[in-house]
Amino acid sequence: EVQLQASGGGLVQAGGSLRLSCAVSGFNFDDYTIGWFRQAPGKEREGVSCISSAGVNTYSSDSVKGRFTVSRDNAKNTVYLQMNSLKPEDTAVYHCAAVRSAEIVCDASFPMNYWGKGTLVTVSS
């Protein structure tokens, strides 16, 4: 069974940090670009940070660039999103998704191969 399990969300004050994890099973993790996407209340889903299958190339949206860092550990089939200097505007449900590609795909409208259930991040103040 294919699973992409996001975890690590919670409540944090503005300026704080969280680290999200996406644990993958059921497919060959090393062949897939993994992306983090978020959807805030009343807003469209957006691509946040994505990383290529080899972990060499990354992409981050302008709104999080310099604050969020995506990484992957292929030995553990896990992708991480380190979120620093969090803002209330970052409040959203964060999802991870996978697409079989050596090239980064970080467009929320793109038909990903797999979507995982999200984890809620709430930033107060």
pLDDT tens column, 51-60: 998 888 999 9
pLDDT recorded at residue 16:
98
Name the burial class of residue 122, with classes exposed (0-12), middle (13-18) and buried (19+) by CB atoms within 10 angstroms of its CB: middle
- Looking at per-residue pLDDT, the higher value among 121 and 105 belongs to 121
- Rounded to the nearest angstrom, the gap between the alpha carbon of residue 96 and the centroid of all alpha carbons in its chain is 5
* Six token digits for residue 10: 């919670």
pLDDT recorded at residue 83:
98
114 — pLDDT class (breaks 50, 70, 90): very high
Q: Compute CA distances 9 → 14, 50, 80, 104, 112, whole Å.
A: 14, 18, 12, 24, 22
For the stretch 37-48, pLDDT in tens is 999 989 999 999
* Six token digits for residue 40: 């805030």
